[in-house]
Amino acid sequence: MKNKVLVFVDLVAAKNKLQLDVVQEMGMEMTWFVNVYKPGSDKYFNGGGQVKLEGGFRGRFRQVYAFLKQNKKTIHHLEIYPGGRFSFIYLFLGKWFGIRTICSERGDLLYYNTAGYDKLVRFSMYCCYKFADIVWYREPYMIETLKTIRSKGLFFLHNAIHIHPHNIDIKNKSIDFLWLNRVIPERKSKWFLSVLKTLPFTKTNNLLVGMQEDTAWNEEGDFVRGNCPVNLSLAPYSPDPIQYFKQAKFFVLPADVVFANHALLEAMSYGLVPLISDTPGSALIVDDHVNGFLFEHTEAGFQQAMEEAVNMDEKTYLQYAQASREKVMREFSVDKYRDRLAELYKLAS
C-alpha cells in the first residue's frame, strides 16, 4: 500500500501541524527530510517523523537514494519545496524510482526572477516547476509566473488554520500593534518604524517579532535595529507565536504579497484586527472597515489606517475583532482544507 508521503523542506514548524494532522487522518504517514532538525516538532507526528539531511552533496544523495530505493513500493508521492540547491535532485530521484512528485510552492517564486537567489537555486526551482507532476501553489499572484513555465498540473490550495477557543478581551491586551513576520524587503518594515515615530503613537506599546541572524536580508534587519523607536520592542522569529497573539490588539502587514499569509490567518483566529496592504487577493481575507483595514499600498496609506485603528473605541474594536475571527472560521477552515488536500493527493496517485 502506498501510504507514505515524503516532504523535503528546511524545517518542520508549528504552521505545518495542520497538514500533518489532516494527512494522518487520511490514514497516511509523513516523513519530513529537513535541513534543520527541531526536536520539539516530533510531537506532531504519529508515524513517520523527521530525518536530518546530511550536509554534503554525496552524503545527501546517498541518503535520499537509499531511502527511496528501500521504500519505493510504499511511497505515495514526494513533496518538494523548490527553493534550494538540492531540490531538483530530489525531483529527479523521484522520477528515477517512478514516484509521483508535487512541487510545493510556498513563496520562493517571489524571488524566481530576481537576484534574491543564485543561478543554481533558480535552475533548481525551474526544474521543479517544469517537471514535477503537480505544482501546488498557495497565492493568487503565483499563477502568472507559473503559466509561463507550464500550462497544466497547477493546483491552488491556500493556507488554512485550526481555530482555537479564545475569548477576545481588550482589557488584557498589552501590545497595540504587532508585526509578526520575517523582516524582508517585500514587507515594509521601514514604514512601520516611520509611522511609530509620529505623534499619535508615542504612547503606544508595539512589538516586531521576526528578527533573524545570518540571512540573505541582513541589511533589512540591521536597519530595524539601528532605527528602532522607543515604543517598539524587537524579538527573534518565533515558531510558536500564540503568546503574542493573545496579547496584541492589531496585526500589521504592509507587504507586496499578503494573501493567506499564515501569521495573518492565525492572528485573525485569535481576534486580532488586521491592517494589510490592498494587493491582489487581500480583499478575499479582509473586508475593509468591517473586520480590519485594507489600505493603499503606500506609507501614507499605512499611516492613515494605523491612525484610524489607534483611535477606535472599545465597542467598535470588539466588533471588528469578532468579525475578523469569524471570517477565518468561515473561509479558511480545516474542513475546506481537508477536502482540497484529499483532492490534490488523489491527483498525485
What is the residue type of 21?
D
Residue 140: what pLDDT? 85
Residue 215: what pLDDT? 60
DSSP-assigned beta bridge partners for residue 105: 137
pLDDT digits 0-9 by tens, 3-56? 999 999 999 988 898 899 999 999 999 999 999 999 999 999 988 999 999 999
pLDDT digits 0-9 by tens, 176-207? 999 999 898 889 999 999 999 999 999 999 99
User: What CA dihedral angle connects 144, 145, 147 and 152, to 10 degrees?
Assistant: -110
Which residue's C-alpha cell is 534543520?
36
Half-sphere exposure of 34 (CA within 13 A, CB side): 19
- Decide which of 213 and 149 is more confident: 149
Residue 174: what pLDDT? 95
> Does residue 228 have a pLDDT over 70?
yes
Residue 159: what pLDDT? 87
> Does residue 88 have a pLDDT over 80?
yes
- Arithmetic mean of pLDDT, 78-104: 97
Please report which confidence band the pLDDT of residue 115 belongs to, taking 50, 70 and 90 as the band edges: low
Percent share of the chain, pLDDT over 70: 98
C-alpha distance across the termini of the chain, in Å: 12
Q: State the chain's mean pLDDT as an integer.
A: 93
The Cα-based distances of 179 to 189, 241, 298 in angstroms read 9, 11, 17
> Does residue 217 have a pLDDT over 70?
no
- Arithmetic mean of pLDDT, 210-223: 78
- Decide which of 214 and 267 is more confident: 267
> Does residue 64 have a pLDDT over 70?
yes
Question: Within 10 Å of residue 164's Cβ, how many Cβ atoms?
Answer: 10
Q: Which residues contact 187 (CB under 8 A, 6 or more apart)?
A: 181, 253, 254, 255, 256
**Angstrom distance (rounded) from CA 104 to CA 138:** 9
What is the residue type of 18?
L
Cβ atoms of 292 and 320 within 8 Å: the answer is yes
